[in-house]
Amino acid sequence: MCGIVGFTGHIEGKEKVLDAMKERIRHRGPDSEGTYIDDNIAMGFRRLSIIDLSGGDQPLYNEDGSMVLTFNGEIYNYRELRDTLIAKGHVFKTRSDSEVIIHGFEEYGTALPSKLRGMFAFVIWDKKRKRLFGARDYFGIKPLYYAEMNGTLMYASEMKAFLAHPDFKRELNTDTLENYLSFQYSPLSDTLMKNVYKLKPAHYFLYEEGRMKTACYWKADFDVDNSKSLDGWADEIETAFAESVEAHKIADVEVGSFLSSGIDSSYIAAQARVDKTYTVGFKGDQYDEIGYAKACADAVGLKNHAKDITEEEYWDVLPKLIYHLDEPLGDPACIALYFVAKEASKDVKVCLSGEGADEIFGGYNTYEETQRGAGYRKIPRPLRGGAAGLAGILPHFKGREFIIRHRGTVEDWFAGNPNSGFDEKERKRLLRVKTNAPDRVDLVAPFYADVAGENDIIKMQYIDMHMWLASDILLKGDKMSMANSLEVRVPFLDKVLYQTAKRLPEDMRVKDRHTKIALRAAAARHLPEVTAQKKKLGFPVPLKFWMKEDRYADQIKAMYHSEIGETLFDTNALDSMLDAYKHGKFTGYLKLWSVYTFLLWYEVFFNDMSVESRF
């Protein structure tokens, strides 16, 4: 696992600028660094040594030195690819997985990414053609940002590296801000920094003669197979999952595993048989996963290291985490993820984690709601529309959101988890600035078009793969682990395992208010029943209680009334919502939290010029 940075063009002090960019991402690779500079490009690298500890430093070159590679990630089928490329005449100088990329690009060109199995973000400079090629993995496990400013292309594993480049201009993207208020993350490729983009998952770019071209090289598809019983699917999942976990354990260092109270990480830990597992929680029955995790670890014979997070630790670390996230994120669980990564990094360099299982196997509680709503949707649409309109103006009551959501089809209301952000009318009222942000429905419409003929569960999964998974789940997974110089691997997000998951019928995904039906059946063969059947919980954080305490509510209000807060938002409305929340008259605490975390992000990246020395 590593970090990469680079830029094109001609500036004074090119090496000094590149060194400063590398320094911004030192946490991604504290073990070594590397540099390549010529008249046209500067490329930097920071390394966390995992495979071929003595021989895997970068940049790497092809046989004649005409191509230069910097790479972040792991390639799990590198041994097979290496054998194939050697048979075709390529000469390797290391045992690292990285080197198959440079020779693979020589052999296959832009078709290379579709041949790789793993998590990756890399760039290759072709000296002869003066062309830069970059690619990002299928699901977006590894990040890759780029920006074009003043005739310079910059790229990096983390956006903060751009702050060290003299051509970089900090400017808020208010269109993305408006969408952030709905999604609580930055959706798609735009970021909150204007003219800074994320390369989309399963995409590559070519940059040549000052022109950027991006293209998609893979799309998740579905091929439902109704021929198997539940036991038959459990057999197939069990076999495919075991193979994926084994592939994800390839390393020349010790591998550990995160362990929560749920099925996903528990199944991974039990299958991997690692020596160490790691859990964090919060004191109190409702928010303490430690007891469940320890019971599971004991049942399957694993060691467990656990830590209770205090509320003081949680709030004190927020500015540092905002800096490491690069982007504002209204997901309170990212802080818990930071602490579990911090604990694990004391012992190991690599941990397995359960991200992706919900998206590909059908695990979110929201998915079963569309089945519950099937009967309600038989009511004529005009009547449902009228009921939704009435519910929208009434105070909160149980079932209110259900009535509003099911006024129409899934395409009308589902734009991805977590469904807790501001709607279009709310965000327009809240913002003092005008934007050209698209509606949520318009933003996800192209994804719905891709799966137009599939059932509603698959449609929702597909939306979450492209929105919530890529821009929230995997963003925090990468940034919070790498903040602690820890590599996190996600065996569920494996292109080979996906060939099984994509064929599951609807009732093997969700049925009778239960989720991940077939996956649970496979996991139950390896886990205690209580773990295999435990309802989806996520990474629970007692934030909704803390925000009712005066000291934290006052802290949030103070940020609302910062200079930028007063400029962008109707702060009277925010104050009223927060006061109503404290007195039990408003339930949308995550809406309030998302505004607060955005304002913290703005403070760190726009106003605090000492961020690198602080963090």
Active site residues: 2
- What are phi and psi for residue 203, nearest 5 degrees? -125, 155
Instruction: Give the residue carrying structure tokens 């010790």.
Output: 254
For residues 257 and 268, is the Cβ–Cβ distance under 8 A?
yes
Cβ-based neighbours of 567, under 8 Å, separated by 6 or more: 432, 433
Tell the burial category of 179 from Cβ atoms under 10 Å away from its Cβ (0-12, 13-18, 19+): buried
**Which 3 state secondary structure label does DSSP give 33?**
strand
Instruction: Identify whether the C-beta of residue 140 lies closer than 8 Å to the C-beta of residue 470.
Output: yes
What is the DSSP-derived secondary structure letter of residue 112? S
Contacts of residue 445, defined as CB under 8 A and 6 or more positions apart, other chains included, come to: 411
d(CA 313, CA 310) in angstroms, rounded, equals: 5
The full DSSP string for 551-597 is: HHHHHHHHHHTSHHHHHHB-HHHHHHHHHHHHTTS---HHHHHHHHH
| DSSP letter assigned to residue 438 | P
Task: Tell me which residue of 136, 151, 188, 173 sits closest to 7, measured CA to CA.
Answer: 151
Which residue has 């990474």 as its token pair?
Answer: 539
* Contact (Cβ atoms closer than 8 angstroms) between residue 354 and residue 264: yes
CB proximity list for 273: less than 8 A, separation 6 or greater:
302
Q: Is the peptide bond before 187 cis (omega within 30 degrees of 0)?
A: no
Paired tokens of 608: 């605090």
Edge-to-edge order in the sheet of strand 118-126? 60-61, 67-75, 118-126, 131-136, 203-208, 211-216
Contact assessment for residue 294 and residue 279, using Cβ atoms and an 8 Å cutoff: yes
Amino acid at 169: K
Other CB atoms within 10 Å distance of the CB of residue 165: 23
Do 411 and 370 touch, CB atoms closer than 8 A? no
Pairing between β-strand 196-198 and β-strand 255-258 as defined by DSSP bridges = unpaired
Residue 73, helix vs strand vs coil: strand
* Cα-only R_g, the chain: 24
Write down how long the chain is: 615
Q: What pairs with residue 43 in β-bridges?
A: 6, 36
Quick one: tokens of 547?
A: 């925000």
- The 8-class DSSP code of residue 469 comes to I
Among 193, 149, 187, 182, smallest CA distance to 168 is for 149
Do the beta carbons of residue 51 and residue 101 sit within 8 Å?
no
* CA distance to 237, 360, 369, 589, 615, per residue, from 267 (Å): 12, 15, 25, 32, 35
Write out the two tokens for 68: 């230069």
